Amino acid sequence: MNVSKQLINWYTDNKRDLPWRNSTNPYFIWLSEIILQQTQVVQGLPYYHSFTTNFPTVFDLANAEEQEVLKLWQGLGYYSRARNLHASAKYIVNELEGHFPDTFDEILKLKGVGDYTASAIASICFNQVTAVVDGNVYRALSRIYGIDTPINTGKGFKEFKALAQQLIDVKQPATFNQAIMEFGARLCKPKNADCDTCPFNTKCVALQKNRVGDLPVKLKTAKVTKKYFNFIVVVSQDHKTILEQRQGSGIWQNLYQFPLIETLKETTHSSIEKEISKLEVLNDTSFELSLYNEKVIVHKLSHQHLYTKFWVVTTVASLPQGISIDAIQDYPVPILIGNFIENFNF
């Protein structure tokens, strides 16, 4: 079966009108691909518009402060993408004199860019014949050809990359790559695949063998760990609070949060009160403590579930080192903190 031709024909009739599809500007394509890593189009589209409005060129992005970039990214998750995007913009401007790399190998050197993203940019912007392999492609090819090789293994990547490279239309690499990604996103979906209208429904091995729900195969990953987070929301008489910037290479790097007390299990009012009294920021002043959420908020990350409580500390003391509560909206924070700020009546 001529998979390439059928995919392109389907794509021509069914493709969505997305802003980055009206351009071959590598900055816009790169930006869209980074945003859409781990993110569906409907969620990523507003962020794409925000970034292209605030940073219309790679020079604008490179010259921005990291805090500004992280704030604009707020709510999208996987914040290392934003930090890598910013770092790569600086590299392009400072080391490459603003010229976007134009080969697969050079694009691959950009921080935060892997095989898939480099292939997408190289084909769409520079017409290079290099096939993309992402979740949509794995799913489509594993089902059409009935491939059981686990996709999250080195062997799996090599097998699917080779197959995609074999199928790619050498005269229309950009169209083929976009076609197979669109097909996986809209027709050959993870659940409720639209097999009735699929152009491969008479040839798809998974459909013939009733294995659509079994493919692609993915090996089980590391066990999800539980963490118990207690955020201390200080509210002073001079209408200030405390935000701290997270350091290190863990989750939410360089984002801001309320002071955090991490415990081994869900804690009690009296236990957390003792810990709060030790906080240097309160400087032995008296305070009143209340729990904002009686029901624990479970915030799910890829490998961690955060069991979260927000403890409100009201004090008559002043906080000269604090920040104005009116200014906390200016700080980039994780969506977990952002939702609290939005809903809490300071």
Task: Report d(CA 274, CA 228) in Å as an integer.
Answer: 17
Rounded (10°) CA dihedral 88, 58, 134, 155 = -30
Task: Report d(CA 85, CA 53) in Å as an integer.
Answer: 16
Task: Report d(CA 18, CA 178) in Å as an integer.
Answer: 11
Identity (one letter) of the amino acid at 277? S
Burial of 90-115, coded b for 16+ CB within 10 Å and e otherwise, reads bbbbeeeeeebbeebeebbebebbeb
Residues annotated catalytic, as ranges: 33
Q: Are strands 288-291 and 304-315 parallel, antiparallel or unpaired?
A: antiparallel
Cis peptide before 173 (omega within 30 of 0): no
Enumerate the H helices of the chain as residue ranges. 3-14, 26-35, 41-54, 58-63, 66-73, 80-95, 104-107, 115-126, 135-145, 154-167, 173-186, 205-208, 269-276, 335-343
Are 186 and 119 a contacting pair, CB within 8 Å? no
Are 107 and 118 a contacting pair, CB within 8 Å? yes
Are 151 and 138 a contacting pair, CB within 8 Å? yes
Are 219 and 297 a contacting pair, CB within 8 Å? no
* Residue 57 DSSP SS3: coil
Secondary structure of 246-264 in HEC code, one letter for each residue: CCCCCCCCCCEECCEEEEC
